[in-house]
Structure 1
Amino acid sequence: MRFRKALLPLAVIASLASGAAHAQVNVMLPANPGGGWDGTGRQAFQALNDAGIFTEGVNFTNTGGAGGTIGLAEFQGAQTGKADALAVFGAITVGSIILNSSPINLADFRPVARLTAEYLVIAVAENSPYTTLEELVAGLKADTGANAIGGGSAGGVDHIALALLAQAADIPVVDLNYIPQASGAETVTGVVNGTLAAGISGISEFQQFADQGRIRILGVTAAERKEGLDVPTFKEAGYDVEVANWRGILGAPGMPDDNYAVWVDRFAQLNDSPAWTTVLKTQGWDQFFLPGAEFGTFIADENARIGAILKDAGLAQ
């Protein structure tokens, strides 16, 4: 009798342990703590919890480097076929895979949800001779190499936005004098001290410096003007360019179909939740949701588009 009584708690414990292991989700954040991907992942799961959509445990792993490709490679090796394994990634990853000739193939992963977008702005120093985007473009046309433009990593979304602007203005992309910077703050420093004719980065990185009067923002890559930012879009200025630094969620390669469907649904619920609306407003992110298969189609299109741009810029074969 004692033996049978002892077995019941052990069976219950084993059952609970199995359930807990299944409930916990492992999330790869392929960047160092504190960056955009890190914030997107942590804020999304906090909002899922706050909204009561997913309230189980979350195990975050930060592995940065090479535009997210190092973390995604680690994720693929450790989590393929797992039911509850997700990774954050974004537009930068697409270009990094191409530039670094990475063996990572985004088509191998399961596209769960595109979540956010942050549009880009181009800015000059307050005392710059360029007071409009059209004047800056005219300066680039007159002497492309003499006008250094700073932004994020080579092949990243900042570089791509500048390349698209050059294409729209009939400026050879290969002639651009693009100088990668370590951060938005470093770009602003270069703009202010005159080593850069202009800089390009996310709205959130430049807005504070514009408010301080250190730089002048000339244009934004959104389809429409942004609230609180009284500057024209690139399209308004006559350049058919719209590009965003988007971020989203991938499921592990081989994630079971039933489990995949659950995660797609959870993020669809998140997108409609007040908790997520609050996060977007607080962080200054744009809602940019696409679910499941639609997101997969978008990734494939971005891969082709970004690949073509990088080839035009002479950065990829």
Structure 2
Amino acid sequence: MRRDTFLKTLAALAAAGALPLTARAAPNLKMMIPANPGGGWDTTGRALGKALQEAKVVDSVSYDNKGGAAGALGLAQFVNASKGDPNALMVMGAVMLGGLITGKPPVSLSQATPIARMTSEYNVFVLPANSPFKSMADVVAQLKKDPGSVKWGGGSRGSTEHIAAAMIARDVGVDPAKINYVAFRGGGEAVAAILGGNVTVGGSGYSEFAEHINAGKMRPIAVTSATRLKGVNVPTLKEQGINVEIGNWRGVYGAPGITDAQRKQLTDMVLAALKTRSWQESLEKNSWTPAVLSGPAFDKFVDDELASLRATMVKAGMV
């Protein structure tokens, strides 16, 4: 076969999605991170980008941080600017679902294309090192005495730490509507507020606070998991008599209007990235639990999660 004919055939096969990933030209991927730098979505997106490059399924990755409204601002930009783009991904997760329920934005997650769930992470609640409180029991005692005096700091409204705070209040007999929750646009802002003593108690994924906990600048008082996290000696809420357990999962979506073949290619690329050494190192470093799910199973999971979160938030007085 003549070289020019061979190249035309190769190009046609690649366009049709008929070649294996390793035989296709690696794209330049655009990663929407619907949060400010420094938080869990930012860490996840950049770790995935590195893994995609290590897997040699992309040539390069560019990142666009757009924080606000629990990811709704980034979602709106992604939906409106990436239509039909097979080389675009957006980081998302449980926090976005909660924000969509409380915020009722003009765009819907259903406009984008589900690709995969990647990880699950539990929240940790921390106190500033110089806090007069020493435990979750101290926080709960003050909450019962004067709910408004306890300032809970964390991600945007509808985040898992916001939901957990409302669930804690409800479980200990305090009206969830009376909790004083301070929402931050990104993990960096929340960390600064906690270290500065501007909030009473802070909540986020353990990975976001680990550096400051290890340095003695934050005191961890509870995790939202069913059992203690591996390698983390922090009691669960359940151990402390508070019947609350809630996890925070993260995944990625593709652009609106991509074809089934393009969706499959993006999914295959992500799944290949999750097998790399750099991704395994990110799981260990950030205390993320692998929770891989794709295809119709991921579609159903998101639908079920929306219904479950809405029911939980209604019970907690948040909706």
TM (norm. structure 2) is 0.79
Deviation at 1:219, TM superposition (A): 0.7
Superimposed CA distance per residue, residues 247-288 of structure 1 (whole angstroms, 9 cap, x where no aligned partner): 210022232112212322333333333331012223443323
**Any conservation in 1 of the 2:54–2:276 contact (CA below 8 Å)?**
no
Supply the distance in 2 between the matched residues of 1:74 and 1:213 (Cα, whole angstroms): 39
Q: Whose Rg is larger?
A: 1
Which of 38, 43, 49 is the equivalent residue of 2:47?
A: 43
Which of 85, 88, 91 is the equivalent residue of 1:88?
A: 91
Matched ranges for 1:47-126 at <5 A: 47-52=51-56, 54-126=57-129
Deviation at 1:311, TM superposition (A): 4.1
Equivalent residue for 2:301? 298
**Any conservation in 2 of the 1:151–1:187 contact (CA below 8 Å)?**
no
Relative distance call for 1:313 and 1:263 in structure 2 (3 A) is same
Which of 234, 239, 244 is the equivalent residue of 1:241?
A: 244
Supply the distance in 2 between the matched residues of 1:258 and 1:181 (Cα, whole angstroms): 38
User: Which AA in structure 2 matches 1:44?
Assistant: L
Equivalent residue for 2:192? 186
Deviation at 1:47, TM superposition (A): 1.0
Deviation at 1:141, TM superposition (A): 2.5
User: Which AA in structure 2 matches 1:48?
Assistant: L
Tell me, what secondary structure is at the counterpart of 2:195? helix
Deviation at 1:312, TM superposition (A): 4.8
Matched ranges for 1:1-317 at <5 A: 23-52=27-56, 54-126=57-129, 130-181=133-184, 183-189=189-195, 191=197, 196-312=199-315, 315-316=318-319
**Any conservation in 2 of the 1:184–1:206 contact (CA below 8 Å)?**
no
**Any conservation in 2 of the 1:181–1:187 contact (CA below 8 Å)?**
no
Deviation at 1:125, TM superposition (A): 4.5
Unaligned ranges ≥5, structure 1:
1-7
Tell me, what secondary structure is at the counterpart of 2:118? strand
**Any conservation in 2 of the 1:29–1:61 contact (CA below 8 Å)?**
yes
Superimposed CA distance per residue, residues 146-178 of structure 1 (whole angstroms, 9 cap, x where no aligned partner): 333332333322211211222333322112122
Tell me, what secondary structure is at the counterpart of 2:121? strand
Deviation at 1:207, TM superposition (A): 3.0
The RMSD of aligned alpha carbons is: 3.4
Deviation at 1:126, TM superposition (A): 4.8
**Any conservation in 2 of the 1:188–1:199 contact (CA below 8 Å)?**
yes
Supply the distance in 2 between the matched residues of 1:123 and 1:46 (Cα, whole angstroms): 30
Tell me, what secondary structure is at the counterpart of 1:233? coil
Supply the distance in 1 between the matched residues of 2:209 and 2:27 (Cα, whole angstroms): 40
Supply the distance in 2 between the matched residues of 1:78 and 1:179 (Cα, whole angstroms): 31
Supply the distance in 2 between the matched residues of 1:256 and 1:197 (Cα, whole angstroms): 48
**Any conservation in 2 of the 1:150–1:178 contact (CA below 8 Å)?**
yes
**Any conservation in 2 of the 1:221–1:242 contact (CA below 8 Å)?**
yes
Tell me, what secondary structure is at the counterpart of 1:99? helix
Equivalent residue for 1:4? none
Superimposed CA distance per residue, residues 91-150 of structure 1 (whole angstroms, 9 cap, x where no aligned partner): 222222233320222223221111223321112345656444344324322432333333
Relative distance call for 1:304 and 1:56 in structure 2 (3 A) is same
Deviation at 1:232, TM superposition (A): 0.9
Supply the distance in 2 between the matched residues of 1:213 and 1:34 (Cα, whole angstroms): 19
**Any conservation in 2 of the 1:251–1:260 contact (CA below 8 Å)?**
yes
Supply the distance in 1 between the matched residues of 2:249 and 2:115 (Cα, whole angstroms): 14
Tell me, what secondary structure is at the counterpart of 2:149? coil
Deviation at 1:69, TM superposition (A): 1.8
Supply the distance in 2 between the matched residues of 1:184 and 1:125 (Cα, whole angstroms): 12
Relative distance call for 1:186 and 1:274 in structure 2 (3 A) is closer
Unaligned ranges ≥5, structure 2:
16-23
Tell me, what secondary structure is at the counterpart of 1:170? coil
User: Which AA in structure 2 matches 1:185?
Assistant: V
